[in-house]
Amino acid sequence: MVRETVLTPDDFIYPLFVVHGNGQQRPIRSMPGQHQWSVDLLPQQAEEIAALGIPAVILFGLPVTKDARGSENYAENGIVQQAIRAIKDAVPELVVVTDVCMCEYTDHGHCGILDDRGYVLNDPTLEVLQQVVSSHVEAGADIVAPSGMMDGAVAAIRQELDRIGATNTAIMAYAAKFASGFYGPFREAADSPPAFGDRKQYQMDPGNGREALLEVALDAAEGADILMVKPALPYLDILAQMRANFDRPTAAYHVSGEYAMIKAAAENGWIDERTVALESLTAIKRAGADMILTYFAKDAARWLKG
C-alpha cells in the first residue's frame, strides 16, 4: 500500500538480435537465455512478447556482408527492414524501435565513416544515418534510436523525418551514452567489436557527469522525443538528474554486462536471480526511467505476473 515505485511489464523494451537465414535460434554464449533470431521466427517472438504485456522491442541486425559505409543498414531488404515488416505483420500494435547506428554493419566496427587516420567523420556519418532512418521508417518503424553519439545526429534525423513526412515517428536519443566496459557481451551478440581502437572518441567519459547533462540538453534542443542514459545502474545519478531537469520521457538501457553479471552470479548460487533482477529494474525506475531497455524483460514480466 505504501510502495512508492511499482514495476510493471509496461516499463520494458525487449532487445532482439536478428540474423539472416531460416529457423535460426542461436544462443549468445555471454548472455545466457538470449538468442540471435532469424526473421521467420520473429512473429512467434512478437506474439509472446506482446502476450506478456511488454509494449515494445528494439531491433539490432547482423548483416550478411559488411563494408566501410555499412550499406545493409539502409538497404531496402536489409535484415532490420525485413524484421520490422515481419513483426508489424504479426503484431501491429507492438511498438518497434530500431537502432540507428553503423557499428554492426561496418567492416571496421566503428559507429561512423572513417578518415584515413581512423577517426570518425561526424557530418558524413550523419548523411548515412539519414538514409538509415528513411529506410527504417519506410519499413514501418515506430521509433528510431540513434546510438552512435554523433554530434547533431538528432537534428539531422529530425530534419530527415520532416522531409519524408514521418510526423508520427519518434526519436529516442542515446543522449548520455558512456564509453563503458559493460558492453562486452553485446559486442558478441551483435558481432560489433571495433577492429581497432575503442569508442572513446565519440562516447562519454564515465567520469563526466556535467558533460553528460550538456549532451542531454543538446539532444533535447534538437528535438529528441525520448532521452536515454546507457548503461543504467552505474549511471543512476545521471538518470536522476536528467529526470529532474528535462521534461521529456526518459529511458535507461540495462545493458548486456549488467544482465550477464546477474546471470553469472545466479548460476554460481551467489545471488537469487529473480530478486536481484527485479531489485535492479526497480532501482532504475525509481531513479527516473519511464522505460527500461532490458534483456530481463520477458523473465521480469513473468515474475511480476506470477
66, 177, 285, 298: which is the annotated catalytic residue? Answer: 177
Q: 66 catalytic, yes or no?
A: no
The fold for domain 9-305 equals: TIM Barrel (3.20.20)
Q: 177 catalytic, yes or no?
A: yes
Which tens digits make up the pLDDT trace of 175-207? 999 999 888 888 777 666 665 555 566 688 999
Task: State the pLDDT at residue 110.
Answer: 76
Residue 294 pLDDT grade (very low, low, confident, very high; cuts 50, 70, 90): very high
Residue 182 CB contacts under 8 Å (≥ 6 apart), including other chains:
231, 234, 255, 256, 257, 258
Reading phi first (left if > 0) and then psi (alpha if -120 to 50, else beta), residue 33 is in left
66, 230, 263, 285: which is the annotated catalytic residue? Answer: 230
Instruction: Tell me which DSSP letter residue 205 carries.
Output: P
Average pLDDT of the segment spanning 94-119: 85
CA distance 252 to 240: 11
Residue 9 pLDDT grade (very low, low, confident, very high; cuts 50, 70, 90): very high
Single pTM value for the model: 0.94
Which tens digits make up the pLDDT trace of 220-239? 999 999 999 999 999 999 99
Task: State the pLDDT at residue 150.
Answer: 84
